[in-house]
Structure 1
Amino acid sequence: MLPSAPDVTAAPLAPRLRLVLASNSPRRRQLLRELGLSYEVRLREVEENFPPHLVRAEVAEYLAAHKAAAYAPDLAPDELVITADTIVCLDHDVLNKPADAAEAVQMLQRLQGRAHDVYTGVCLLCGDGRRVVFSDQTRVHFRSLSRAEIEHYVATYSPLDKAGAYGAQDWIGMVAVTRLEGSYFNVMGLPVHRVWEELEKLGAVRLG
């Protein structure tokens, strides 16, 4: 089980910009902590709708940038906000967070026995106006699951806050995921290798 995340965390790194994480996800908080980054959490309600012509990575990047735009007016010049959005794609369908347990079961029934793609879009927006938007893709292979296994997972872990109705770090990830092509952390909700790379390019962090 993931440890609870404080709103502010200390770290051995010396950030050149004050980092703001605009996410309520405990998984993203954990990943940034494990990168050794110091950050503050700020939350606000942002609608997660997207234009219907967008597909796959375009959807994830649009949603991340859309979230960041909501924080732009309040950013100080020495701040950088990190926003992210993770989606699950099965064929041409985008599977976002299920509305209820019944929809979660339906999603997992569609995913079981098949491979699907997970995209996480990320936006890094600086208070001085600089902006970077990118995404990462991971191919996830599921073994076939019984109805009982699916219903057990949904009832026990209540994955209504997760795209595609599952978390790879949960029980279902251990029993269902047979193979990954790409970053595991991307499936958790943040492609930390790309986040670190882009923060370095922006001069936002330094070691020591």
Structure 2
Amino acid sequence: MIPAFILLASASPRRHEILDQLGIAHGILRVPAPEGEDEPRLPGEAAADYVRRTAQDKARQAVAWLAGGGHPADIPSAWPGDWMQAPILCADTTVILDGDVLGKPVDAADAAAMLRRLSGRTHQVHTAVALASGGRLLEACQISLVSFQELSDTEIQQYCASGEPFGKAGSYAIQGRAAAFITHLSGSHSGVMGLPAHETTQLLRQAGTSR
């Protein structure tokens, strides 16, 4: 059974919307982020390992923050019982091309450089999901292949000017204007958005908490 209520340790509106779409009641944890926008890769760490470790680290940080006095920012009005006992869901999404992690751009020039690399090519999107529940840490990873059309300099400039690339792994949002760039998707649309619906639901079922 899926837990009646969970805590989502993410400020991402896309992950919030996906849980709403699935009918999963949830509160929001806004855990203070470590210094820096993206967690650095460890020396010699493969890109695929990096995304899984990052999701697991987020879950551990959320558990520690809550135990140290942190409080959910938003809790459903029908929350039953002690929210301290609720499972905590975390996720991390990474765009990988040629073994490189394309994280969130630092500025327009960085975003344009990433989009030029993605232009006319197929890349991987890894979204790792971690669920801290009852002293256990459950995890899964969904991998999608996304193919881009050839992008002109004008298209890249206009897209960067829209502001959409900022705060997005790989400098694009599949649910936004960048949908027009994608010629083929093999995998999970929700996974590329930031929270794979199937894998998330399976993890919640594994948590073993009754509705």
Please indicate, yes or no, whether the TM-score normalized by the shorter chain is above 0.5: yes
Are 1:192 and 2:197 matched, yes or no?
A: yes
1:205 CA drift (Å):
5.5
Are 1:100 and 2:107 matched, yes or no?
A: yes
Q: How does 1:117-196 map to 2 (within 5 A)?
A: 117-126=124-133, 128-173=134-179, 175-196=180-201
Residue aligning to 1:6 = none
What TM-score does the superposition give when structure 1 sets the normalisation length?
0.86
Work out whether residues 199 and 205 of structure 1, in 8 Å CA contact, stay in contact via their aligned partners in 2: no
Distance 1:51 1:106 in 2: 24
1:64 equivalent among 47, 55, 79: 55
Are 1:45 and 2:47 matched, yes or no?
A: no
Gaps of 5+ in 2: 68-82
Would you say how many aligned residue pairs link Structure 1 and Structure 2?
A: 191
> In the TM superposition, what whole-angstrom CA distance separates every residue of 1:137-174 from its partner, at most 9, and x where no partner exists?
0000001010110111111133210000000111121x
Change (3 A) 1:60 1:96: same
Higher deviation after alignment, 142-151 or 65-74: 65-74
Are 1:88 and 2:103 matched, yes or no?
A: no
1:77 CA drift (Å):
5.6
Change (3 A) 1:115 1:103: same
Gaps of 5+ in 1: 1-13
> In the TM superposition, what whole-angstrom CA distance separates every residue of 1:54-96 from its partner, at most 9, and x where no partner exists?
2232111100011111121325662111111100001111000
Q: Which runs of 4+ in 1 moved over 3 A?
A: 14-18
Q: Secondary structure at the match of 1:120?
A: strand
Task: Tell me which amino acid in the other structure corresponds to 2:162.
Answer: T
Distance 1:168 1:40 in 2: 25
Distance 1:162 1:205 in 2: 35
Task: Tell me which amino acid in the other structure corresponds to 1:40.
Answer: G
Distance 1:154 1:204 in 2: 44
RMSD, matched Cα: 1.7
What TM-score does the superposition give when structure 2 sets the normalisation length?
0.85
Bigger relative contact order (CA 8 A; separation at least 6): 2
